[in-house]
């Protein structure tokens, strides 16, 4: 192994923890916002549905890069303090992908067979009990293939944090570019492999979750859910 390759690899790997933290934090926030906004869009309250729809359409319909710049450069002017770059990145990743995830949650909840809900009503379960004990356990299994796709997209979006100086793997590789112009193929190949490995970890984790939750509720994700997750380009 040449000295140049070792130096390049170690420099890029120094950004791996930031990419992982941004992905984990973004995924956690995405899950919370997806369920809050997704269920809000199914609320009986028109005002709650309106607020949820404004959030979903507003975040899905605007550029993620502009959102990142607004949070990092404009918001501090309004609130009077500067956000930590990594935190600002996690916030934007969660807000943006949570808007897409909200539609996944809404669609999965509505896909639960009506007889299941009617059976819960016949058992005199309250709306809250029906949602927690009957609808969500089945809907979550239906969501997993699409969420797998969404989380991988979020992982790739961590490269955008380059613009606000977060030293994730893409920025670490770009730092090497002036001094190692002849090694650009090696630099970008290492980055591609790292993103691929992280995506594989996400996929394996979601597949494991599918099996575990599927056995508990006696239901696997439908063929339609799997197909939609695979053929939807970019976003789930």
Rg for the chain, CA atoms, rounded = 21
d(Cα 236, Cα 226) in Å, to the nearest integer?
11
CA 97, 102, 104 angle in degrees (round to 5)?
Answer: 100
Give start and end residues of each alpha helix (H) in 112-183: 114-122, 127-129, 136-157, 169-176
How many C-beta atoms surround the C-beta of residue 186 within 10 A? 18
Q: In a structure prediction context, what are the per-residue pLDDT tens digits for the chain, which is 236 residues long?
A: 578 889 999 999 999 999 999 999 999 999 999 999 999 999 989 999 999 999 999 999 999 999 999 999 998 888 888 889 999 999 999 999 999 999 999 999 988 877 776 677 677 677 777 777 788 888 899 999 999 999 999 999 999 999 999 999 999 998 898 888 778 889 999 999 999 999 999 999 999 999 888 887 766 665 555 545 554 545 54
Question: Taking the model in full, what pTM does it have?
Answer: 0.88
Which domains, from first to last, does the chain contain?
A: 3-231 (1.10.3720.10)
């Amino acid at each position: 192994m040449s000295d140049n390759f070792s130096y390049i690899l170690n420099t890029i790997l120094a950004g791996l923890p930031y990419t992982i933290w941004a992905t984990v934090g973004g995924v956690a926030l995405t899950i919370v916002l997806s369920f809050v906004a997704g269920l809000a869009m199914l609320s009986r309250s028109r005002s709650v549905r309106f607020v949820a729809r404004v959030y979903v359409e507003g975040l899905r319909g605007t550029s993620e890069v502009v959102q990142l710049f607004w949070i990092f450069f404009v918001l501090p002017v309004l609130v009077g303090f500067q956000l930590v770059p990594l935190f600002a990145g996690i916030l934007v990743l969660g807000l943006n992908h949570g808007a897409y995830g909200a539609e996944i949650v809404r669609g999965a909840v509505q896909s639960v067979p009506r007889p299941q809900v009617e059976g819960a009503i016949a058992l005199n379960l309250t709306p809250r009990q029906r949602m927690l004990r009957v609808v969500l356990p089945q809907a979550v299994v239906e969501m997993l293939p699409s969420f797998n796709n969404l989380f991988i997209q979020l992982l790739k979006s961590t490269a955008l944090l380059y613009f606000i100086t977060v030293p994730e793997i893409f920025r670490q590789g770009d730092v090497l570019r002036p001094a190692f112009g002849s090694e650009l193929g090696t630099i970008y190949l290492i980055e591609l492999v790292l993103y691929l490995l992280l995506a594989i970890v996400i996929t394996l984790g979601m597949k494991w979750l599918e099996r575990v939750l599927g056995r508990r509720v006696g239901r696997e994700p439908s063929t339609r859910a799997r197909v939609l997750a695979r053929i939807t380009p970019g976003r789930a």
